[in-house]
Structure 1
Amino acid sequence: MNVQKFFKRYVHSSVKLFCFFILVNIFLFVSLIIVSVSHGNQSPTHLLPCISDELQQTDGQYTLPDDIAALLDQDHAWCMLIDNATGNVIWNYKLPANIPVQYTYGDIAKMARWYLEDYPVFVSARNDGLLVLGYPKDSYWKLSAYKTIVSVKIDAIGYIAVFFLNIGIVLLLFIFNSRKTEKAVKPILIGIEEIAAGQKTQLAEQGELSEINAKLNHVSKTLKRRDTARANWISGISHDIRTPLSMILGYSSSLEKNHGLDSDVQEKMTEIRQQAEKIKRLIEDLNLTSKLEYDMQPLRISSIYPVELARQVICEFLDSNLDKKYVFEFESNPQCETEFIRGDEVLIKRAVTNLIQNSINHNANGCIITISVSCSEKAIAIVVSDNGVGVSAEKLKALNSKTHYMESTDKALHLRHGLGILLVRQIIEAHNGIMRILSEEQKGYETTLIFPKTKY
C-alpha cells in the first residue's frame, strides 16, 4: 500500500537523521577534547614543572627566563619559593601584597588544599624549597580528587545511564511524533488514493491538518460533479444520436433491398448501412464504458455458465451471415460444463462479443477464431484468440494499459484495438477479474479473461 511505503520512508529518513545527530555529537565531543588538550600546554599542571625546571640559582640569586615570565604575565599569575627549613619566602615573582612571606607547616598543609588567601594555588616540591604558583581569584575552580572506588563506579554507571536515558527519551519522542504524524497524514494519503481511483472521499475536517482535509473534500466533490456531468453529457449525446441514426439504418436497409435501383447505388447503400452500424456500436460502447467508469452501470448479478455463454456468442455470430473466411473453433472439457461464476451475463457476453468482433475487424483476409473455456480450483478462464495479423510489441504494451477510448477508431471509422478493449477491461474489473493480452505481429492475438470462482 502506498501509505505504508510513505511511512516507511518517513521512519527511515528519521532514523538516518537521528544517527546523523548522534554522529555530529560524537564529532563535537571529540573535537572539544582535541581543542581542550591543544590548549592545555599552558595550564598550571604544565606550567608549574616548566617553572621548577627553569628557575635557577646563581650566586645566591634566583633567575627566571623571560619566556617563562611572559607566560606568567599572560595569565596574570604569580610565583614564590618557600624555604624548606625556615618557611620563609626566598624568591617570588609579582607576589601580591596581601600574601604572607613566612609559613608554618600548618600553613603549607592548608595551602596544599589548593587555596591561599582565596588565590587558587598549585605547589611543587623542589630540593631547595616548595614552589608555589598562584593565579588571580576566581580564575580556577578546583575540585577534590579524593573519591572512593564505589563512588567512582556510581558516577560512571550514572553517566552511562543518563546517556542511554537521554537516547531513550529521544526515541520515545520520535515514536510519539511519528504516530502523531501518521494519524494526521494517513487519512490524507488514503483520500488522495481514493480521488486518484475516481472514488468519492470525505475526510474529517478537524485536527492540525484540517485545512488540507477540507481542500481534498472540495477537490473530491468538484471532480465528482465533473465526472457526473461528463457521463450525463455522453449519455445525452448518445440518446440524441440514436434517433437519426435509426432512420439512417432504416432507410439505407430499405434502399439496399430495393432491386429497382442500380447495383452501384445498392452497394453504396450497403456501405452506408455498415458504417452506420459501426457508429451505433461505437456509441453503445462509449455510453457503456462511461457508465462503468463512473460506477453508473448497476450489475445484474446471476449465475453464469461460461461454457454455455461462449457457445451462445459463437452461434449469434454464425447466425449473422458471417463471411465464410472466418472459422470458429470451440474448446472446453466436461469438468467446465457445470462450473459457473456470479456476474452480469449481458456484460460478460458483451466482453466476449467485443473480443471476437475485434478479431474479425482486424483480419480482413479471414482467420481462425478460437474460443476456449478452462477452469481450476480458484478461477475460470475464457480465452479468445485468432491466428491473424496480431499487433506490434509497442501496441501490445499500450493495450495492456488502460487505453483511452478516444483512440478507438481511425479516420475511416474502422474499429481498432482501443474502445472495445477498454470496455472489456472495465467489465472484467467490475467482476473482480483479470484480463491478459498476448500477441506478436503476424502470429495472432490472444485475450484471456480470468474470473474468480464463486462458492455459492
Structure 2
Amino acid sequence: MNNKSMKIIVRYIIRIIFIVFIVLAINYSLFLFIIRYSPMAKEPTTTVKIIAEELNGDNKQLTDKTTKVIQKNNLWVQLVNASGYVIYSYNEPDDIYNYYSINDIAKLSKSYLNDYPVYLWESGRNLVILGYPKNTISKYNWFIPTNVINNLPLTLVVIMLMNLIITIILSIILSRKLTKPLGNIIKAISSLKEEQEVKLKEKGIFKDLAENINETSEIIRDKNHKIKLRDTAVSNWLTGISHDIRTPLSMILGYSALMEGDATLSEEVHSQARIITENAVRLSDLITDLNLASSLQYQLIPLNLSLVKLSSIARKAVAKGVNSGILKNSSIDLIIQDESASALLDEALFLRAIINLIANSAKHNKQGCNITVTVPNTNEYDYVSIIVSDNGSGIPKDKIERINGYDYFNAWINKSNGLGLVIVKSIIETHHGQMVIESEKGKGTTIVIRIPAG
C-alpha cells in the first residue's frame, strides 16, 4: 500500500470516528430534548411531592395551578388515611378503589394500579396516590448490585474504548473497499500523465470516473498512434527527399570539380565552378543536418554511450576547428579547469555538438571573433559542464526563443539561423542535459552545457 492510499485511509477513519461521535451527540441531545419538553416531561416524583405538601393540612385542597396540571395531563389524585380510606380525590377514574387494604397497598408498591402508573408520597399520616393515564409511562424495577455501581466509571470507559475499537475496525474494512479502487484510479491518473495506456474495471461507486479515465486513455492512445504515424511519414519523406537530392547533388559536385580542374576553361568559368561547388557542399551539409535533426526529433538514433572525459571532447573539438578551416577569421582558446569531469556520452554525437557550436560562432561572425572552449571546475556534484563562448556580434533574442522553443523546421527555414544550435540542443537533451544560451547583441554569446556526471 503506497503513502497516498495510507493517507486516504487515515483521513477516512478519522472522519468516520468524528461523524460517529457527532451522530451520538446529536442523538443524545435529541433524547434529552424529547424527555425535557414532552407532555409528561415534569418528573412525576416532583409532582406528587407538591400535591402531598398541598394536601398536608386541614384544608385538603389543591391549588389552581396544580389542578390545571392534573387536568392538562389527565392525571388523578387520591389521599388515603392510615385506615385505608380515601379522604380526598380529584379526577379519579371509575375503576379505582375508595378503600385500600394492606394487600392493595402492597400492589401499589409495584408502581401500577389497575394498569395505571402510580406514584406514592407521604402527606403527614396520610398517603398521596398520583395516577397517570394507562400506557403513558413505563415503570421498571431495576436491581443493580452495588459493585456494578461502584465500577460504573471504569465500565463506561471500557465500553467507550470497545466502541472506539469497533468503529476503527469497521472504518478500516470500509476504507479498504473504498481506497482500493481509489488507489487504482490514482495510479491510472499518474500513468495518464506519462501518456501510458490504462484500463480500469468499470464497476462500483467509481464506475463513471473509471469510464472517463478509460475513454481518456483511448483518446491518448489514438493520438499517440496518429503522431507516430505522422512522425514516421515525415521521417520517411525526409529520408526519401534526401536520397533523391544526393544523387543529382553528387553529379553536380563531380562536374563542378571537373570544370575547376579543366585548364582549357577560362578563369571566369573556374570561379563559377567554385561557386557551384561551395553551394553544392552547403546544400549537402544542410541535407545532413536536416536528417540528423529529424532523427533526433523522432529518437531514431541509438546512443553508443561510454564514460568520456569532457576535456578530451573539448581538445578534439578545438583541434577539429583549427584543422578543418571552419574558424576562418576567428581564433580559438582552450581552458581546462577540471580534467576529471566525465559523463556517459555518445562521444561522436557529443563531439558533433561542440564542433557545431564552434562553427556557428565562426560562421555568424565573418569579421572574426575569439572563441573559447572551457571545461570549468564546478561545485555541482551531479552535473558537469562545458562552455563555448565568443566575443562576437551575439544572437538576437527572437532567435534564442525560437531555438528554446524546439521548433526545428521554423529554425531551418530561417536561413540566417540554420539548424546548428537546434541540433546541438537536441543532442544535449538526448543526453538528459541542459543548454543555456546567454547572449547580448554586440557583446558576444555564451552557451553553457550541463550534463549528468558519470
The TM-score, its normalising length taken from structure 1, stands at: 0.74
Question: Structure 1 residue 236: deviation in Å?
Answer: 0.4
Look up the match of 2:61.
62
Counterparts in 2 of 1:124-273, with a 5 A limit? 124-127=121-124, 129-144=126-141, 146-153=143-150, 156-198=153-195, 201=197, 218=218, 221-246=221-246, 247=248, 251=252, 260=268
Looking at structure 1, the residues matched to 143 and 399 of structure 2 have their Cα atoms a distance apart, in angstroms, of 84
Q: Counterparts of 1:124 and 1:318 in 2: how far apart (Å)?
A: 123
Determine helix, strand or coil for the equivalent of 2:127: strand
Name the count of aligned residue pairs: 435
Residue pair 2:439, 2:446 contacting (<8 A) in 1 also: yes
Residue 76 of structure 2: aligned partner: 78
Q: Do 2:44 and 2:119's aligned partners in 1 also have CA atoms closer than 8 Å?
A: yes
* Counterparts in 2 of 1:29 and 1:76: CA distance versus 1, 3 Å: same
Which of 283, 286, 295 is the equivalent residue of 1:287?
295
Residues 413 and 69 of structure 1, relative CA distance in 2, 3 Å threshold:
farther
Quick one: which amino acid aligns to residue 74 of structure 2?
A: H
SS at match of 2:324: coil
Q: 1-side partners of 2:347 and 2:3: how far apart?
A: 39
- 2:326–2:359 contact (8 Å) kept in structure 1: no
**Letter aligned with residue 230 of structure 2:** R
Deviations 1:420-441 (A, max 9, x none): 3651343212xxxx43637464
* Helix, strand or coil at the partner of 1:319: helix
3-state DSSP of counterpart to 2:431: helix
TM superposition shift of 1:187? 4.8
Conserved 8 A contact 2:53-2:123: no
CA distance in 1, matches of 2:193, 2:80: 90
Equivalence for 1:7 = 5
- Residues 39-71 of structure 1 show CA distances to partners (whole Å, capped at 9, x for unaligned) of 26534244334444555867x552441x43333
SS in structure 2 at match of 1:346: helix
After TM superposition, the structure 1 = structure 2 runs for residues 312-391 of structure 1, keeping only pairs within 5 Å, are 312-324=316-328, 326-332=330-336, 335-336=339-340, 341-356=343-358, 366-372=369-375, 381-387=384-390, 389=394
Shift, 1:238, TM fit: 1.6
Shift of 1:28: 0.9
Task: State the Cα distance separating 1:75 from its structure 2 match.
Answer: 2.6
The corresponding residue for 2:452 is 451
Matches within 5 A, 1:360-439: 366-372=369-375, 381-387=384-390, 389=394, 399=404, 403=406, 405=408, 408-409=411-412, 411-412=414-415, 414-415=417-418, 419-420=422-423, 422-429=425-432, 434-435=433-434, 437=436, 439=438
8 Å contact from structure 1 (residues 299, 344) kept in 2:
yes
Superposed CA offset, 1:303-346 (max 9, x none): 5343323322232233332245544332335852xx76544333
Asked if the contact 1:115/1:121 (under 8 Å) is kept, the reply is: yes
Partner Cα distance (1:421, 1:170) in 2:
63
SS of match in other structure, 1:62: coil
What value does the CA root-mean-square deviation take over the aligned residues?
4.6
Residues 81 and 131 in structure 1, CA contact (< 8 A), matched pair in contact too: yes
Residues 7-41 of structure 1, C-alpha deviations (whole Å, 9 max, x = no match): 36634652563365145325514632652464265
1:93 to 87, 90, 94: 90
Q: Do the aligned partners of 1:313 and 1:353 also contact (CA within 8 Å) in 2?
A: yes
Change in CA separation of 1:352 and 1:44 when aligned onto 2, cut-off 3 Å: farther
Show CA shifts across 1:243-273 (max 9, x none).
Answer: 3443458748976986525979977985786
Structure 1 residue matching 2:434: 3-state secondary structure: strand
Other-structure match for 2:263: none
Three-state SS of the structure 2 residue aligned to 1:24 is helix
2:44 corresponding residue in structure 1: 44
Distance in 2 between residues matched to 1:261 and 1:393, nearest whole Å: 41
Q: Secondary structure at the match of 2:95?
A: coil
Letter of the 2:37 partner, please give it: H
Percent identity for Structure 1 against Structure 2: 18
Contact 1:408 1:415 in 2 (8 A): yes
What 5-or-longer segments of structure 2 have no aligned partner? 261-266
2 CA distance for matches of 1:362 and 1:33? 89
In 2, Cα distance between equivalents of 1:120 and 1:37: 17
Cα 1:176/1:30, change in 2 over 3 Å: closer
Question: In structure 2, how many angstroms separate the alpha carbons of the residues matched to 1:233 and 1:50?
Answer: 103
Q: 1:240, 1:146 → 2: CA distance?
A: 102
CA spacing shift, 1:153–1:330, aligned 2, 3 Å: farther
How much does 1:380 deviate? Answer: 6.5
User: Is the 1:408–1:420 contact (alpha carbons within 8 Å) kept by the matching residues of 2?
Assistant: no
Q: What are the Cα deviations for residues 176-196 of structure 1, in whole angstroms up to 9, with x where unaligned?
A: 344445544445544543454
Secondary structure of the residue aligned to 2:311 is helix
Alignment partners' CA distance in 2, 1:130 and 1:398: 107
- Whole-Å separation in 1 of the counterparts to 2:280 and 2:126: 129
**Cα distance, 1:155 vs structure 2:** 5.1
SS in 1 for 2:423: helix
Q: How far apart in 2 are the matches of 1:405 and 1:53?
A: 106
Q: Does residue 25 of the first structure (1) align with residue 27 of the second (2)? A: no
Letter in 2 for 1:414: N
For structure 1, which runs of at least 5 residues remain unmatched after alignment?
none
